[in-house]
Amino acid sequence: MTLSSTARSACLAAALGAVSTLGLAAAALPGFAQSAPAAGAVSIDNFTFTPQTLTVRAGTTVTWTNKDDIPHGIAATGNGFTRSKALDTDDSYSFTFTTPGTYKYFCYIHPHMVGTIVVEAATGSNATP
C-alpha cells in the first residue's frame, strides 16, 4: 500500500513534470526548446544594469544580482512590478513577468541607473531571443 502510494506519487510527479515541460516546449520557439525554464539575469556592476535591455518571454523569472560594493534597489518606472528591498553586495531580487509589455525600471537609490525588461508573448510569432 505504502509502496504503491509512493509509486503513484512518483508517477504523478513525473507526469506533472512532463506536462510542464511540454507546456514550455509548446510555448517556446524551436530555438528556445533547449533552454532552461524561463529565466533571465541582469547583473548590476559599476552602477550599470547589464544587459541594459533584456528581452524575455512571458512567464520568465528575471533575477537582478548586485555585484557592487554599494546597495542598489530595483523599482519600476510607474507600477509595472514590485519594488525590491535594498540589495546589498551579492544580494539578488527576482520577479516573474507574466504579462507582455515593456517595463522600464531604475535604481531607487541611484536613479540615474536605468534599464528595461521587454516581455514578449509566450506564444507570439514575434518572440525573439
Nearer to another protein, 109 or 121 (CB): 109
Q: Which three cell numbers stand for residue 61?
A: 523569472
Give the interface size with another protein as a residue count (CB under 8 A): 24
Member of 49, 73, 103, 119 binding another protein (CB under 8 A):
73
Q: Is 53 in the site for another protein (CB under 8 A)?
A: no
In terms of CB distance, is 64 or 106 closer to another protein?
A: 106
**Any contact of residue 47 with another protein (CB under 8 A)?**
yes
90 forms part of the interface with another protein (CB under 8 A): no
Residue 119 and residue 88: Cα distance in Å, rounded?
27
DSSP category for residue 87: B
Backbone angles phi, psi at 16, to 5 degrees: -60, -45
Rounded CA gap, 8 and 12, in Å?
6
- Using CB under 8 A, which of 55, 63, 65, 114 touches another protein? 114
Q: Quote the least distance from Cβ 85 to another protein, whole Å.
A: 6
User: What's the Rg (C-alpha) of the chain?
Assistant: 18
Q: Contact between 52 and another protein (CB under 8 A)?
A: no
- Tell me: does residue 70 bind another protein (CB under 8 A): yes
Residues 6+ apart with CB under 8 A from 93: 63, 64, 74, 84, 85, 87
